[in-house]
A and B are shown apart, each in its own frame.
Chain A
Amino acid sequence: MLKLHKTIESNSALLIFGILIVASIGGFVQILPNLFDESLRKGVENLKPYTALELTGRDIYIREGCVGCHSQQIRPLVAEVMRYGKKSVSGEFIYDRPFLWGSKRTGPDLARIGGKYSDKWHKLHLIKPQSVVPESIMPAYPWLAKTQINANSIQAKLQLLQKMGHPYSDLQIQNAKQNLTSKTEMQAIIAYLQVLGTY
């Protein structure tokens, strides 16, 4: 063994290839099968791709970094299911690019937040969280209500997702820009929050 290693460590090309091969094994075994595993791509029943407004809201959620404080993944534990709703399954996320499961719950899980509160509540909460939850440490997002949606790239987004296999009709893509006119970012993000977990 050590002899073999003496050869490897005397030759930089061997060292490079050695590292590359040894470091690839785990990735090949763990990742490749999942890229071809169709069961991971099968959506749950009634799941629809995000509408233009919801998708815009999702991109605002990404932009503001809500994922740094909120998870969207309910683990199959008794207390967790009682608190947040039924456990998350792979088929719920097939229209999620990127995934937004998160790694930290500074705030509660949002996987099934849709329908839990009224639009009005969300608006008040996002403008000033402490107005509805006095102890809250969540930041306020007042600018969302004042900013009109920038709809310039919505068609490009939908076309790209269509190419990636999300079932948008050409008509939906055509009308997308119209659907967003004179809407605020607040309306978009609320539309997104309200659809989470409601299929």
Chain B
Amino acid sequence: MDKKLYYTDSATVFLLICSMIWAIIGMFAGVYLAAELVMPWLNFDIAEITFGRLRPFHTNAVIFGFGGSALIATAYYSVQRTCHARLFSPNLAWFVAVAWQISMAVGLASLLLGYTSSKEYAEFEWPVDIAVALVWVSFGIVFFGTLATRKIRPIYVSNWFYGALIIVVAMLHIVNNLALPYSWMQSYSVYEGTQDAIVQWWYGHNAVGFFLTAGFLGMFYYTLPKQAGRPIWSYRLSVVAFWAFVYTYIWVGPHHLHYTAIPDWLMTTAMVMSLILLAPSWATMVNAVMTMSGAWGKLRSDPGMKFVIVSMVFYALSTFEGPMLAIKSVNVISHFTDWTVGHVHSGALGWNAFVTFGTIYFLTPKLTGVELFSKRLANIHFWIALIGVLLYIIALWGAGISQGLMWLSLDDFGQLKYSFIDAMLVTIPYHWIRLLGGLLFLFGTLLMIYNLFKTFMAGRLTKPVLVKIPPVHKGYEI
């Protein structure tokens, strides 16, 4: 058998399994954090699990462990199908898959031990940063190597987004993590004070923009047309939206620093660009909805597709909420409050996790060669997760807006109306609801893993799936 004639998916399967494991670990940590905020005794005086150390563990485990593994897995899968080519260097692809997991495991353990640079979403210390950079560049070589050896001339839309993910995240990661070490695990940033803040949020927002958005849009642009069995509605719209997206996102970082000590013009450009960003974000959503027209009937029978479609709704919601939060007068209330956290999770749970779940439900039968173990269970997962995320974000709107207004209220004598503790106590009932929402979401994820596990077990009895690379349509050869 000539392997060159077939796609290779073993690294994809491995990465999807790892992604699910990180989902459990990371979401459990999230639930635990949520519980610590209402039952502080859960900190148990154990340094490693106190809120301050567990918080970056949670964010890194879900973003880079769960999200990162799923992104690499789906990039491997879709780049082959859209290029009619086998992965460039399957060995390097496997190296990336394994080395990513090792870097995450070491990095996350070191966070619990207290080794942190403290810059959000870039907390890993310098040795882990270097490892991550090397793995990321190798991922780039596999991905762009496959593009370069493709058999079909046009590069499909999903690949533009994955490409942007790889290039821009490499740039952000390297610049933001520049630091000089004073010991084998610790370092000081080369930027000081205000400059450090500006560089950090240039990174921070674009970690959102390119990791949590561009990458997942790549996943989305591959999965949805496949599920719907229809091409993307408007090619022209996706071109315009893509370049507008890549150009505009980079400008908006300083909206995380409204009214701080950074120069004013930075806040103004960030605010204006954030509002503009609504256009390319919603253009993508419009494209998605139009692609669906005529295929809505499939929603009833395909739970994976439900996840993907609803993920677009949450994408639209969070990319509407984001520009609103970026308006200075709104940010005055929302900044530093639970409102931000609610916004984060409407994106992270409703958009990122949902599109990932939908994609995995779609890919699993293809990778195992058998039908999903239970569609009913997948449907139940969908409803539980949906209720979970809604409880989460609605509760935090309540908490965040109350907090924000109470902090700023003055009484008739011009004195502060509420103490800090007053405002803190108001959030507690909302935090209980958020905890419930988080538990539901985690439970749904466990149901999914059971479902996938059963499917894989059934798949093991059949022959391994080998997909032959199909010939390219006439006129599209390279």
Contact = CB atoms under 8 A, between A and B. Distances in A.
Interface of A: 2, 5-6, 9-10, 12, 15-16, 19-20, 22-27, 29-31, 34-35, 37, 40-41, 59, 62-69, 71, 73, 75-80, 82-83, 88-90, 92-108, 129-130, 133, 135-143, 153, 156-157, 159-161, 163-164
Contacts of A137: 36-38, 40, 424
B147 interface: yes
A38 to B, nearest CB: 11
Contacts of B95: none
B2 interface: no
B193 A99 contact: yes
A97 B236 CA distance: 46
Main secondary structure, interface of B, reads helix
A49 B248 CA distance: 38
- Top 4 A-B pairs, shortest CB-CB distance: A65-B52, A93-B193, A26-B250, A63-B114
Interface string B336-352: 11001100000000000
Contacts of B337: 104-105
A59 B249 CA distance: 33
Contacts, number: 246
Interface in B296-350: 332, 335-337, 340-341
B37 A143 contact: no
Contacts of B425: 135
B155 interface: yes
Contacts of A136: 40, 421
A136 to B, nearest CB: 7
Contacts of A139: 36, 40, 43, 45, 50-52
A95 B52 contact: no
A98 B117 contact: yes
A97 B51 contact: no
For A107, A139, A142, the residue with the greatest tally of chain B CB atoms inside 10 Å of its CB is A139
Contacts of A98: 117-119, 188-189, 191, 196, 200
Contacts of B36: 137, 139
A160 B192 contact: no
B193 A138 contact: no
Interface stretch (B99-107, B129-137, B225-233, B408-416): B408-416
A77 B118 contact: no
Given A31-B202, A78-B410, A103-B340, A95 B192 contact: yes
Given A78-B410, A104-B341, A135-B421, A64 B47 contact: yes
Contacts of B416: 79, 82-83
Contacts of B260: 73, 75, 88, 101
Interface of B: 36-38, 40, 43, 45, 47, 50-53, 55-56, 114-120, 144, 147-148, 150, 153-155, 160, 163-164, 167-168, 171, 175, 180, 182-183, 186, 188-200, 202, 236, 239, 243, 246-251, 253-254, 256-263, 266, 269, 273, 332, 335-337, 340-341, 407-410, 415-416, 420-421, 424-425, 478
Contacts of B188: 97-98, 157, 160-161, 164
For B45, B258, B273, B478, the residue with the greatest tally of chain A CB atoms inside 10 Å of its CB is B45
Contacts of A6: 154
Given A23-B246, A98-B118, A135-B424, A77 B259 contact: yes
A80 B180 CA distance: 35
Contact of B192 (A10, A41, A88): A41
Given A107-B420, A139-B50, A153-B186, 14 more contacts: A12-B144, A23-B249, A66-B52, A69-B51, A77-B259, A80-B408, A93-B197, A96-B196, A98-B196, A101-B257, A104-B337, A104-B341, A138-B40, A164-B180
A163 to B, nearest CB: 8
Contacts of A156: 182-183
A151 to B, nearest CB: 12
B170 to A, nearest CB: 10
A34 B259 CA distance: 17
B43 A160 contact: no
Contact of A64 (B114, B191, B335): B114
Given A2-B236, A164-B190, A143 B247 contact: no
For B51, B168, B340, the residue with the greatest tally of chain A CB atoms inside 10 Å of its CB is B51
A157 to B, nearest CB: 5
A62 B259 contact: no
A161 B251 CA distance: 31
A20 B171 contact: yes
A192 B230 CA distance: 61
Contacts of B117: 98
A156 to B, nearest CB: 4
B52 A97 contact: no
A158 to B, nearest CB: 9
A73 B261 contact: yes
Contacts of A24: 171, 250
A30 B198 contact: yes
Contacts of B115: 63
18 contacts: A2-B239, A9-B155, A23-B247, A23-B249, A26-B250, A27-B202, A35-B191, A65-B51, A67-B52, A71-B336, A75-B259, A96-B196, A98-B119, A98-B188, A105-B337, A138-B40, A139-B36, A140-B43
